[in-house]
Amino acid sequence: MQTDLTQRWFDPAELKYKSPYGAVPSLSQVRFTLRPKRREAFVRAFLTARWEQEGDRVAVLSLPWVGLEGEYDLFSLQLELGGYVGLIWYSLALEHWDGRREETPLHQLTVYDDSEPIPAWFGEGVSYQIFPDRFCRLSLPDPTGMPGGRTLHRSWEEDPEYRPDSRGEIRNRDFFGGSLRGVEEKLPYIKSLGVETLYFCPIFEGPENHRYGAGDYEKIDPMLGTKEDFTRLCQKAHGLGMRVMLDGVFNHTAFVSKYFNGDGSYPGTGAHQSERSPYRDWFYFQRWPDQYASWWGIYSMPTTNKQNPQWLEYITGEKGIIRSWLRAGADGWRLDVADELPDSVVHAIHAAARAEKADAVIIGEVWEDASNKIAYDVRRRHIWGGHCDGVMNYPLRNALTGYLLGGDGAWFRSELEGQRQNYPRWAFYSSMNSLGTHDTLRILTLLGEGSDRKGDTSRDWRCRHRLSPEQRALGVKRLKLGSLLLYAFPGSPTLYYGDEAGMEGFEDPFNRRCYPWGREDQDLIRWFTRLGEARSSLPPLRRGELEWLHCQGPVVCFARRLGEDRIVAAANAGAREALVELPDGSPLRLEPLEGKLLRGSGQGFTQLLHS
């Protein structure tokens, strides 16, 4: 068993066995040391390594005996990595004189390219995700003539349309009229939450309210405003110490777009209209014009041809989409469905962004461990350098929600320690960490209900349903607990608009209702304001090292350390009181569903806030 072995002679998480810790840069060395007890009488040690990105080359290397340390034999080897970038899968083995052998399971070693500095600004501060149509409306827009045959909800409090059309698809053509000027008006409120990065879901012209199928990458959607509105918004955000990140959806466009022009509403000739269209080869047609590749088979989102050089130049060239919107005021891009973009395209996007702004950041949408993700039978290079600077951290969200809903603290630590070992430090610290997004249930609903309720309810029920007072009180307690850990963890704590106001909702589109201006949960807003202040003002929370203190049963407790300054985050998700020992040896008492943030150095610990 691995646990047996790590207790006995090897643990990749400890420097005395493997140094340096975790992922390592190319052109460096890694020292492996096995430490069996002398009385176990092992006489030989071996490292078996498979270099995946070198055609699965396998090397079997002997670890020579290098001496004794107390009752332990030491077998040690320094592995030279050369210029290799990729994954090395390795195991370690010990042999007795008679050939009996013990071997570890396979471990992953991530080797990354560190030749380019990674901007640190994104991971240090709080991010705020805005679904633009639903955040703030200043006036009723007129949708007449806008792409997609839109309808407008006159009441801000109505539910989004959720019933499918004749094709079985939800058309998402109902709008509420949120705008960039509305966001601009609310910038002081957003800043009061401690936010340093505004992350916008797509803002480019598109027929659907989510705008995840672009109609024209060169234009702001007319219901949101103009390019001038966007630039002014960026300037005002910058003046308040905030940066702006855009959502880049390049894997597909809209059926209703100037590129595909499936309904003929754009004045030019789209790929669907003529085989002589300049956009014809930007898409994959099995049989022109009506059989074409589309995202997950959704006809309204035809997939782009990433091998087409004209398409790539349009996206990443000097006058392309990436660079032009950075010139207009943006500071970075989040790449939608990054797994579906070839590595060469992600690298080209990364290079274009850096060429325009040296500190521009690229964040990828990846739902799994981004260091070893396989998509379409290809091992992705997301965080090996020169591609994504960080990714959306859904593994953290899964670990947090699992823990809050009854999971074990030791499991929580194991999940995230494994990620920390696999990720380059810069990628771990530039993760986009969230409890909820536009693609998940509202976190308050999940924590109050305990599940998505899809197995035993209808969509009509999920549209109408609201938490009972008892469920809501439970959800709020869990949300405060989870957000305390989120804001204390390495990576950018990302707040989905309205979660701080107590918004509820099951799956899309119920998680995309309008922000409840004038009806906010003020207690929650005060809580998230205090968390934002802590994240903004406490250097260890921004860039300190992670130290696990006590993770067992219903308790999770860790510290962020910067020099002698420590911030401790402690949470008790259980139904009984818990006792935790702080680094100075003093006890910390936690009530059921209580979390605390404390600061300490050589003089003991003082409480900063508690849930």
Please give the Cα distance from 275 to 289 (Å, whole number).
8
Tell me, which fold does domain 2-112 have in CATH?
Immunoglobulin-like (2.60.40)
3-state secondary structure of 393: coil
Residue 362: strand, helix, or coil: strand
Q: What is the predicted pLDDT for the residue at 486?
A: 98
Q: What is the CATH number of domain 539-610?
A: 2.60.40.1180
Strands 24-25 and 107-112: parallel
What are 511's two structure tokens?
A: 């998680």
Q: Shortest CA distance to 425 belongs to which of 19, 13, 24?
A: 24
- Burial class of 7 by CB neighbour count within 10 A (0 to 12, 13 to 18, 19+): exposed
Model pLDDT, residue 1: 32
Of 425, 396, 420, 509, the residue nearest 462 (C-alpha): 509
**Top-tier CATH class for 252-305:** alpha beta
Positions of CATH 2.60.40.10 in the chain: 2-112
The predicted structure's pLDDT at residue 602? 67
Within the chain, all domains assigned CATH 3.90.400 are found at: 252-305
What pLDDT, on a 0 to 100 scale, did the predictor assign at position 164?
85
Residues 34, 94: contact at Cβ < 8 Å?
A: yes
Which amino acid, residue 567? I
Dmax (CA) of the chain = 84
Q: pLDDT (tens digit, 9 = 90+) per residue, 435-471? A: 999 999 999 999 999 999 999 999 999 999 999 999 9
Q: Answer whether 529's CB lies under 8 Å from 193's CB.
A: yes
* C-alpha–C-alpha distance, residues 415 and 151, integer Å: 45
Cα-to-chain-centroid distance, residue 570: 23
Q: What is the pLDDT of residue 7?
A: 59
Positions of the chain with pLDDT lower than 50, given as ranges: 1-6
Structure tokens at 127: 């991010």
Q: Which residues of 330-352 are buried (b: 16+ CB within 10 A; e: fewer)?
A: bbbbbbbbbbbbbbebbbbbbbb
Name residues whose C-beta falls within 8 Å of residue 46's C-beta, 6 or more positions apart in sequence. 60, 61, 62, 63, 92, 93, 94, 95
